[in-house]
A = this chain, B = another copy of it.
Amino acid sequence: MNIQSHKTPERVLMGPGPSNAHPEVLKAMSKQAVGHLDPSFLELMNEIRELLRYVFQTKNDKTFAVSGPGTLGMESCLVNLVEPGEKIVICQNGFFAGRMKAIIEQAGGIPVMVHDDWGTKISPEKLEDALKKNPDVKVVAFVHAETSTGVLSDAKTLSEIAHKNNCVVLADTVTSLGGSPLYVDEWNIDASYSGSQKCLSATAGLSPVTFGERAVEKIKNRKTKVQSWFMDLNTIWTYWQSETKRSYHHTAPINSFYGLHEALVLKKEEGLENSWNRHTNNSKKLCESLEGIGLKPFVNEEYRLPQLVSVGVPEGIDEAEVRKYALEKHNLEIGAGLGDLAGKIWRVGLMGYSSNQQNIDLCVKVFEEAINAQKK
Q: Residues on A close to B: CB < 8 A?
A: 1, 3-11, 13, 15, 17-18, 20-21, 24, 26-36, 38, 40, 44, 47, 50-51, 54, 67-72, 75, 79, 102-103, 106-108, 195, 197, 203-206, 225-232, 249-256, 258-259, 261-262, 265, 268, 327, 333
Contact with A36, one of B8, B18, B67, B75 (Cβ below 8 angstroms): B18
Report the bound CA distance from A71 to B253 in whole Å.
12
Report the bound CA distance from A179 to B345 in whole Å.
50
**A6-B28, A7-B40, A72-B230 provided; 13 other pairs, C-beta below 8 A?**
A11-B35, A18-B36, A18-B251, A26-B255, A33-B203, A38-B333, A71-B250, A75-B228, A102-B229, A106-B229, A205-B205, A205-B255, A255-B259
The residue of chain B having its C-beta at the shortest distance from the C-beta of A333 within the complex is: B35
The residue of chain B having its C-beta at the shortest distance from the C-beta of A46 within the complex is: B3
23 A-B pairs in the complex with CB atoms less than 8 angstroms apart: A3-B50, A3-B51, A5-B24, A6-B258, A8-B28, A8-B40, A9-B34, A13-B33, A13-B34, A15-B35, A17-B251, A27-B30, A29-B30, A33-B203, A34-B333, A68-B68, A70-B251, A72-B250, A79-B228, A103-B229, A106-B226, A106-B232, A205-B256
**A226: shortest Cβ distance to chain B, in Å?**
7
Chain B residues, Cβ within 8 Å of A205: 67, 205, 252-256
User: A3-B268, A6-B262, A268-B1 in contact; A31/B26 too (CB < 8 A)?
Assistant: yes
How many copies altogether?
Answer: 2
Chain B residues, Cβ within 8 Å of A40: 6-9
Chain B residues, Cβ within 8 Å of A35: 11, 13, 15, 18, 333
Q: Are B256's CB and A253's CB within 8 A?
A: yes
The residue of chain B having its C-beta at the shortest distance from the C-beta of A50 within the complex is: B1
Contact with A8, one of B67, B251, B258 (Cβ below 8 angstroms): B258
The residue of chain B having its C-beta at the shortest distance from the C-beta of A15 within the complex is: B35
**A7: shortest Cβ distance to chain B, in Å?**
8
Q: Are B50's CB and A33's CB within 8 A?
A: no
Chain B residues, Cβ within 8 Å of A102: 229
The 8 residue pairs across chains A and B that have the minimum distance between CB atoms: A205-B253, A30-B30, A71-B250, A68-B68, A203-B255, A103-B229, A69-B250, A26-B30
Contact with A204, one of B29, B255, B262 (Cβ below 8 angstroms): B255
Q: Are A32's CB and B8's CB within 8 A?
A: yes
Q: Are B203's CB and A254's CB within 8 A?
A: yes
User: A21-B32, A32-B20 in contact; A227/B13 too (CB < 8 A)?
Assistant: no
Report the bound CA distance from A259 to B250 in whole Å.
20
Chain B residues, Cβ within 8 Å of A258: 6, 8
**A118: shortest Cβ distance to chain B, in Å?**
16
Q: Are B232's CB and A5's CB within 8 A?
A: no
Chain B residues, Cβ within 8 Å of A230: 68, 71-72, 75, 103
Contact with A255, one of B13, B29, B72, B261 (Cβ below 8 angstroms): B29
Q: Are B251's CB and A71's CB within 8 A?
A: yes
Contact with A225, one of B38, B106, B252 (Cβ below 8 angstroms): B106
Chain B residues, Cβ within 8 Å of A21: 32-33, 255
The residue of chain B having its C-beta at the shortest distance from the C-beta of A69 within the complex is: B250
Chain B residues, Cβ within 8 Å of A225: 106
Q: Are B20's CB and A33's CB within 8 A?
A: yes
Chain B residues, Cβ within 8 Å of A72: 67-68, 72, 230, 250
